[in-house]
Amino acid sequence: MDYKKFGDSIYARFDRGDEVLSGILNICKKENILSASFSGIGGCGDVTVATLIPENNNFVPHNKTGLLEMISVNGSISANNNNEIFEHTHAMFSYLENDEMKFLGGHLLSAVVSYTAEIVIRPVQNGVIRRKKDEITGITVWDLGNN
């Protein structure tokens, strides 16, 4: 993995064998980024996405290996009150199965690069987005009233 800052954005290239989410978190830690959005494209060989089951607040994982085009990855970085950062990411992948185009998407848990991935990280300027627990759904959501 390699990255460079241009203006307010960071452009990261992930190479074969790199795991995308841990790489994004490592860049944010190194650059002291507590809040950001990111997006990208690439080619992966092993991915795990998940579907949230709201009734039990549990994720059902879906793993796929092979040649997977990362059509789109979009996510956010936010921090808790101790400045620990967290990512929330969704992604869409395409692949061929029996000469037919198939798709796999959802909450991204892991994506290992097979060729390359290109990710742009856009840090939040002049503030920090924190996380708070939503009492109705039981999940953590952005707390936008803390700046």
pLDDT digits (tens, 9 = 90+) for 19-69: 999 999 999 999 999 999 999 999 999 999 999 887 887 889 999 999 999
pLDDT digits (tens, 9 = 90+) for 86-110: 999 999 999 999 999 999 999 999 9
Number of domains in the chain: 1
Whose tokens are 């002291």? That residue is 32
Range of the domain at 133: 2-143
CB-CB contact of 21 with 44 (8 Å):
no
And the tokens for 27?
Answer: 């860049």
And the tokens for 61?
Answer: 């994982």
- Which region among 3-12, 81-90, 129-138 has the lowest average model confidence (pLDDT)? 129-138
Supply the pTM of this predicted model: 0.93
Among candidate residues 145, 105, 114, 108, the one with its CA nearest the CA of residue 46:
114
Under 8 Å CB-to-CB from 19, ≥6 apart: which residues? 110, 111, 112, 113
**CATH code assigned at 126:** 3.30.1330.80
Quote the pLDDT of residue 146: 58
